Structure 1
């Protein structure tokens, strides 16, 4: 029991030091933005047992998604048809996530908050970071343009993200709908700014420097070595061999949806989405 208590105190101390190092966004020194050391990255959650400390790995059980209310039959059928057309590359994109992403996209198009027609990027942040959980879709053609791994913030969890925050220096992923902004050359090379469109949930994105950028901790080599992606400070960081294509495809004025447990958004307006779909289709 004494050993268990000492280990618990040690992990609390390490966690406190990591939080104290947190800065806004992903743009700090190179050493701070890389993946955490393997001893920390792979450290599992722990629970006390009679024999000391038992290893309890991250659960892989996905969080159930409550179906949206008042989705018309025509809109629901359109999403189902889209998912079927997307084919095997979208097999792990849950219908409930896709439907929410599409409703938000259509509502934002009607409100003229996004200007890129037919392109939707959606990440299911409830999936573990070991999975390719980001899809870039062409809604009009019904094609998966890109599918890739994407990192979550180190404040959000380990293999699975289970804490989400809009707070400065939280190092957490913030869920919700984003408008893709301009590009620039930063410490991570080509990067694209993101504007959070959900007040109180992700609207600090620009102030937190939450952007799309490349990261070595999402590379094939890192995934093969550690079995999962490393951590950002809240940015949806991308694989070095795919980031340029993804950043260019989503363009400026596009829609990015980060889905996760507990997310509610005013843009999930099924009635407005149905009107937009009837008037303009997926454009």
Structure 2
């Protein structure tokens, strides 16, 4: 049932013969219980009340489209976005994409948010890597050829025409956790196994080789909604990031708002 995406540039795909043996899949040590019960997300330490109130207000204004976006996940995404903006690591102001990879792949678990207007621009399913699990992503890894999803903050990069058509490159911003993204050719691209037809037939999305693959009827809009320099968080159990600095994020919000 699972369909595999190449998650590679055309050049690399031509260089590697299909008969090339695949080494055993290395995986991370964080393992999620094999059930549909979501993993609790602990509140971040040292987040000022002013920032928490702002995130709660944002979540409320996002309305029904964000009903399944857990406030604790949104808080982490916002804290990371503000900290990365302060550090100059994401250049695009006011755009935040977050995927809660703890949700099963049968659900819409990717949101693209316009922070200034408090509006959900796009909401869709998104695939996780076959090395991470089937319906539920249970393992995460940054290792090349692991076929796993790697958690953490990403900055969107340029687009190109590849094996899957229009694709957008991703740069991992968390050292040791997702910084192999460019070498692994982890990109945003379309995949038939994330289509409505596939989800209706199989009850879940298929699996990529690590890319957050998108529905064919939404991928162009999503790729356009996260221009180069935008912030993307792939959230999930075991996520750690130096960008989750509540004090720095609160200072940035007080000084510049969501810009």
Q: TM over 0.5: same fold?
A: yes
Partner of 2:204: helix, strand, or coil? coil
Flag structure 1 segments of 5+ consecutive residues without an equivalent. 1-17, 33-56
Q: Distance in 1 between matches of 2:226 and 2:7?
A: 21
Query: Counterparts of 2:171 and 2:165 in 1: how far apart (Å)?
Result: 19
Alignment match, 1:150: 126
Q: How does 1:63-142 map to 2 (within 5 A)?
A: 63-142=39-118
> Could you tell me the TM-score, scaled by structure 1's length?
0.81
Higher CA-based Rg: 1
Contact 1:26/1:235, CA 8 A, preserved across alignment: no
Going from structure 1 to structure 2, the CA distance change for 1:23 and 1:223 (only over 3 Å counts) comes to: closer
Quick check: 1:231 aligned with 2:198? no
Greater RCO (CA < 8 Å, at least 6 residues apart)? 2
| Partners of 1:252 and 1:189 in 2: CA distance | 17
Structure 2's unaligned 5+ residue stretches are 19-32
**Deviation (angstroms), 1:58:** 4.5
Superposition deviation, residue 24 in structure 1: 7.4
Give yes or no for the alignment of 1:202 onto 2:178.
yes
1:174-193 superposed matches below 5 A:
174-193=150-169
| Divergent runs of 4+, >6 A | none
Q: Which secondary structure does the structure 2 equivalent of 1:233 belong to?
A: coil
Q: CA deviation at 1:66?
A: 1.0
Cα distance between partner residues in 2 of 1:176 and 1:81 = 24
Equivalent residues of 2:6, 2:208 under 8 A apart: no
The within-5 A match list for 1:259-270 is 259-270=235-246
* 1:171 and 2:147 are equivalent in the alignment: yes
Would you say how many aligned residue pairs link Structure 1 and Structure 2? 237
Question: What secondary structure does 1:231 align onto?
Answer: coil
8 A contact 1:148–1:239 mirrored in 2: yes
- Partners of 2:77 and 2:136 lie apart in 1 by 20
Distance 1:74 1:110 in 2: 17
Give the CA RMSD over aligned residues.
1.8
Looking at structure 1, the residues matched to 117 and 131 of structure 2 have their Cα atoms a distance apart, in angstroms, of: 37
